[in-house]
Structure 1
């Protein structure tokens, strides 16, 4: 590219069109304008041929070359000097004289391309052009002053013609070649000066911004230098007073950590003020320790540190399948949750334009199910699938609101809440936080932690969560919160409304065997330092343990029983060196696990009239519930025992009222004007729920008619005063409990038909489901002839 410098000379005015031929000098990288003096290297063959044989004073025509094509306008240049450049190449100093139009060309005998040129005659300047020229002169002088080149304004002196004045914008080093080429090819002086005015204004605006930034930087540097001098003086004074030493290094460390750019602006300003306060006060001040603790906490919070999400849905699904057997609906919902996060990540630029899409965009999952079904391990699987850190935060027994929001700094021993501490433990601002046992949060005079959780678990608010100790907003919108609970009854409705519930009802016998084979047993073998080749437990033994020694909804007790079997085998390997393999058989179960736990058999309990087998859901999963009814002499009335809640008491009243209203239709001959006693055994356990009405009605009819209830039938459902059976919840838990108890027939409300389709195939094959709509249908199935 030619190196140019402005050097104004008097232009030769052309009064008439003049056509002649000059050698063509192509300019592939730059643009030369009239009045410029440029140095050109003869690098290309065309340039060498054009300057071959030319001496000082000879003229050429310089034309911009773009992609092998020449422009229609060039500049006549005169050779001022010839010689070698610093790099050894031949070159020449050229002075640009005037614009010319380029015509036809022909190759001369020397090999150079000669082109016909036509002198460009500029028309007289109009009044508008001269007005623009005056404006350009003012803007150009301001521009030269802004960049500190006041002496260069002399270059504009003596130039009166608008066209010549417009060409001076080409001297501006920041002007690109495309604009220079446009300026060269604009022959009309008025159009050219109009372009120059517009570009000069843009350059002036940029120069002013640059000057403002430079002034601000200089001001900051001066302030920083002044503060550094003052701090050195303060350090010298502290050293004289014996108050120096490690303190200065401590303050410098704090300031360096604040200045690293990881803190939000507001937090950094507050932290800087606290460091200044700490520096001014002595170590004897009691607040010094509080400030240090606050600064350490704020600097440990991962304000901007985040892990990159691994949003591979296939890998996530594979990870969930490897970690958990069964729970297909649950795993599918978690994959959907991850898929939404992937789409939001990929389309974040579009969503940023839509504030409504950002608000409330997160999802809080709540895994609800009995103990041992894998709620915590599912949370860990989600963290592994996302590639995020995992933090478990137990909320069981928490009664102080400050445990969530933190203590205010005015209190002695104040500290941040568990949410902030979880972020610090994770070391990232976007971990997976498991809120374990959220249904066991309490409340007392210290506040209600569940109310504080409303903000944490609300996707529309948690981007501005404020901890009382930190006193600044913390963005929790990137945190994946997963809550776990055994039951929903104790979770406040506003908090429950903010979470998406994913029920984990429990496992069937086949699913437990699969979990034990794929997950529990390999883990137990590693824990007890033995291999699968040394201790072999076949599936039939595992199935016997499931059927006879564990009847829980989850697999925690199953893991304990298998652990006992593996420990017993490991002990034998350690005591008997000659033994290399231990095969655990059915005969080893009783010595290792003891006798089969006693369970109430429905066949035994229902041998007399007045006893029916019901189904219920407890915090430990589904369970069978026996209801006993008896008629006693005395006044008309109903007695209910067994620590029943208000809902179950009302169900008993409804059942008795229905029987009295439909006595003849149901074939009841006994006198109902007596005391009716309904009892739920295991009176030490509180019971309540809206699904015992059908069971109580059946037990009462059995007691009044003397017909026994079939021992292989269990039932659940609510009843109305007109005998209609209403739908209930927890169908899977209840049916699994019936299967574990050996029941073969289960009576369910007809409205729960859709829930039956969700049962595992093995359960539907083992249990016959009867869907009923009214009490007569229930009695026809449940009572013996």
Structure 2
């Protein structure tokens, strides 16, 4: 280092001055003071240092003043300075004038070695190559004359492609070899970038028409995107990077990379590019390796199910059993995710309003899984399940794939709502497509037509809902566990209304329990006389109606606390809609009370028989189906064949007999009305009335055997709602009584029967009583 000297300092941000540079500097007050101090000093020198925003400078350039004058146009003064030598900035000092003075130590040049000469030659070659591309011949001559490596490196101060921070770094790099290495690196990068830009310009010019300016701009944009790649959000390079970064199964990754290869080879105008991009977006959005962890607390899961739903023990037990098996497999170190048949597939069948759909969310909460609902009602296109082929316009994956993407995990609870209402037409049969989805032995390799990749659905818990089991294709039903939810008893309805419906409706009406209370007696009255549904929807509507009227009353008198009791219901809901009618309907001979199952649950069915003069024959009315018509023929044939045994005068059957099932606007079919028709015909022929408290169900043969039927639980619930006390069922349906609630069996005397003659003997009132009553 040379001896320290004191110089006035001038801090400037632009330009950054390096040794050898001659630059003009506009003179503000601080610059004018520094120039004046330098001119007044013995050396005539000043120190020029870069002052950037990030930090205080450590080095500067000792410069001499070449000229001071005014800028052309009279806009102010300027000084032309020449940078001479690097110097290290020391401590501040004092000096004449208003300028800032600092102690500086001049940095002497080091000896030029062979390595430095080699680096200088390489840099000069790069510099000349860049200048030749710009055709700057005068500057090329100047550079060729330079032999000092340090002076050659310091010409970079004029380079427009270097930033101020880079130029400051060169100023502070005192080692010539290091300075040259940095410049070689920066200049090489800039030269490569310049070559790419020139190549883009050449590509654009070669493909453009001179008269089409718009085409030029578009070609430039396309060429830039093609070279940069990352600037195009839908570029193939972007997709390749996303696929490499995504957590995908190996086979899915290979398929995705194949499609990216096609995208790279396709032209921008090819429609296939759009299809591939949409497919790649769909694949990347699916949670291929994302799964939620199941809850292992069986008690907590059961508590959640019990808190959300009253009753429904079958499905609650099944979910808890499923959790118990998974927890045990986890404890034993066995795989619990994926594999064949590890998921559950259940169909909840029952009338509307019993809580089938809402049960899905409770199951998901109990399992700790995501929940997604897929509505299948009215779906007629097979592509809704399996997806469309990618070649179709507007192709989409199937609903199952979309549900997985919506859930964000590979093991959600998927509720297939209204599976019995799936249709079919010329576009295929969606129920057939569901066979693979719901088969635990197959769904680990479900293949969607759009994805064309194997999707593992084996760990998905599928819950399906249906109103009518008979409408579900048998092959589909065979792949699911059937859980029947046949409806609620009166006690169940009161409990559900008190614990679930009433609080919910209070919240919707902005009421509190202190402002409006509904007694259990009122709830029981609503269940008995205002609704006859197996579910709770109409019940909830009536509660909402009552609370709306209560809210209106509170608006007039807000200080009153209302209590809705049984006598008050007429004022809130009107007169009861349903009253026991069995006694009234069976008050004449020829009317028997049967039990049936409809899409809305169990119901009471009255069958009427009458005869009149005319040609012997059988007339049937009431919009009966073929099976029910055959049951009437069988019943008449049985009564004629066993007339003597049944106490029937054969002549009473040689008339025109008319069998009618009221509610003729409602289609009716099924075999379970056979015993009821036999009873009605015998009652008509003997003149003995059927007991008003008796209901019956069962299929009958020509020999009078009572054959089993379905829907026993729903029919017994309907019998209880209708106020019957005795119900005859087929003996082979006796095991079905295990599923009937205890309070229903206590309210009804259920008699399993094998011979219809025994039913007639117990169902008809004694002849003497009938005569007495008639008299």
TM more than 0.5: yes
Match of 2:297 in 1: 312
Q: Offset at 1:348?
A: 5.7
Picking from 605, 611, 615, the partner of 1:625 is 605
Q: Offset at 1:506?
A: 0.6
CA contact (8 A) 1:235 1:248 kept: no
After superposition, residues 25-64 of structure 1 pair within 5 angstroms as: none
Q: Larger C-alpha radius of gyration, 1 or 2? A: 2
Picking from 676, 687, 698, the partner of 2:679 is 698
Q: 1:262 to 1:532 in 2, by over 3 A?
A: same
The answer to whether the aligner puts 1:302 opposite 2:278 as a matched pair is no
After superposition, residues 410-489 of structure 1 pair within 5 angstroms as: 410-489=391-470
Match of 1:250 in 2: 234
The answer to whether the aligner puts 1:275 opposite 2:246 as a matched pair is no
Match of 1:739 in 2: 720
Distance, in Å, in 2 between the alignment partners of 1:339 and 1:632 is 66
Match of 2:550 in 1: 569
TM-score normalised by length of structure 1: 0.67
Distance, in Å, in 2 between the alignment partners of 1:294 and 1:313 is 41
The answer to whether the aligner puts 1:651 opposite 2:636 as a matched pair is no
Distance, in Å, in 2 between the alignment partners of 1:659 and 1:560 is 47
Distance, in Å, in 2 between the alignment partners of 1:600 and 1:542 is 18
- The more displaced of 444-453 and 600-609 is 600-609
SS at match of 2:428: coil
Q: Offset at 1:249?
A: 4.2
CA contact (8 A) 2:380 2:428 kept: yes
Match of 1:504 in 2: 485
Q: 1:463 to 1:666 in 2, by over 3 A?
A: same
Q: Offset at 1:528?
A: 2.2
Deviations 1:661-702 (A, max 9, x none): 211111111422333221111122111122111101000101
SS at match of 2:610: strand
Match of 1:639 in 2: 619
CA contact (8 A) 2:295 2:323 kept: no
Deviations 1:525-574 (A, max 9, x none): 2222222122211111111111111111011111111111222223333x
Distance, in Å, in 2 between the alignment partners of 1:468 and 1:348 is 36
Q: 1:650 to 1:695 in 2, by over 3 A?
A: same
Q: Offset at 1:267?
A: 2.2
After superposition, residues 169-188 of structure 1 pair within 5 angstroms as: none
Deviations 1:56-95 (A, max 9, x none): xxxxxxxxxxxxxxxxxxxxxxxxxxxxxxxxxxxxxxxx
Distance, in Å, in 1 between the alignment partners of 2:546 and 2:418 is 30
SS at match of 1:570: helix
The answer to whether the aligner puts 1:520 opposite 2:513 as a matched pair is no
Match of 1:669 in 2: 649
Match of 2:76 in 1: none
CA contact (8 A) 2:292 2:368 kept: yes
After superposition, residues 20-169 of structure 1 pair within 5 angstroms as: none
Match of 1:85 in 2: none
CA contact (8 A) 2:529 2:579 kept: no
Match of 1:209 in 2: none
Q: Offset at 1:458?
A: 0.4
Deviations 1:197-234 (A, max 9, x none): xxxxxxxxxxxxxxxxxxxxxxxxxxxxxxxx99x979
SS at match of 2:664: coil
Distance, in Å, in 1 between the alignment partners of 2:764 and 2:233 is 86
Distance, in Å, in 1 between the alignment partners of 2:295 and 2:335 is 21
Picking from 585, 607, 627, the partner of 1:605 is 585
Distance, in Å, in 2 between the alignment partners of 1:522 and 1:412 is 49
- The more displaced of 246-255 and 362-371 is 246-255
Gaps of 5+ in 2: 1-191, 205-218, 767-775
**Number of residue pairs matched by the alignment:** 551
Match of 2:373 in 1: 392
Q: Offset at 1:258?
A: 0.8
Q: Offset at 1:280?
A: 4.4
- The more displaced of 421-430 and 253-262 is 253-262
Distance, in Å, in 2 between the alignment partners of 1:657 and 1:361 is 53
CA contact (8 A) 1:361 1:460 kept: no
Match of 1:407 in 2: 388
Distance, in Å, in 2 between the alignment partners of 1:685 and 1:284 is 60
Deviations 1:696-716 (A, max 9, x none): 100010111111111111111
Q: Offset at 1:722?
A: 1.5
CA contact (8 A) 2:431 2:476 kept: yes
Deviations 1:429-455 (A, max 9, x none): 110000011000000011000000000
The answer to whether the aligner puts 1:321 opposite 2:306 as a matched pair is yes
Q: 1:551 to 1:236 in 2, by over 3 A?
A: farther
Q: 1:577 to 1:299 in 2, by over 3 A?
A: farther
CA contact (8 A) 1:612 1:709 kept: yes
Picking from 681, 685, 704, the partner of 2:662 is 681
Q: 1:427 to 1:359 in 2, by over 3 A?
A: closer
Q: Offset at 1:654?
A: 1.7
CA contact (8 A) 1:670 1:705 kept: no
Q: 1:452 to 1:236 in 2, by over 3 A?
A: farther
SS at match of 1:665: helix
SS at match of 1:420: helix
The answer to whether the aligner puts 1:614 opposite 2:594 as a matched pair is yes
SS at match of 2:311: coil
Q: Offset at 1:718?
A: 1.1
Deviations 1:289-329 (A, max 9, x none): 32222221111111111111112211111111111112233
Match of 2:181 in 1: none
Q: Offset at 1:660?
A: 1.6
RMSD, aligned α-carbons: 2.5
Gaps of 5+ in 1: 1-228
Match of 1:67 in 2: none
Q: Offset at 1:342?
A: 3.0
CA contact (8 A) 1:535 1:581 kept: yes
Distance, in Å, in 2 between the alignment partners of 1:632 and 1:371 is 42
Q: 1:777 to 1:375 in 2, by over 3 A?
A: same
Distance, in Å, in 2 between the alignment partners of 1:351 and 1:315 is 20
Q: Offset at 1:636?
A: 3.5
Distance, in Å, in 2 between the alignment partners of 1:658 and 1:349 is 62
Match of 1:538 in 2: 519
Q: Offset at 1:576?
A: 3.3
Q: 1:757 to 1:494 in 2, by over 3 A?
A: closer
Match of 2:320 in 1: 335
Match of 1:749 in 2: 730
Q: Offset at 1:334?
A: 2.8
Q: 1:599 to 1:448 in 2, by over 3 A?
A: farther
SS at match of 1:643: coil
Q: Offset at 1:612?
A: 0.5
Q: 1:346 to 1:685 in 2, by over 3 A?
A: farther
Match of 1:37 in 2: none
Match of 2:148 in 1: none
SS at match of 2:470: coil
Q: Offset at 1:272?
A: 2.4
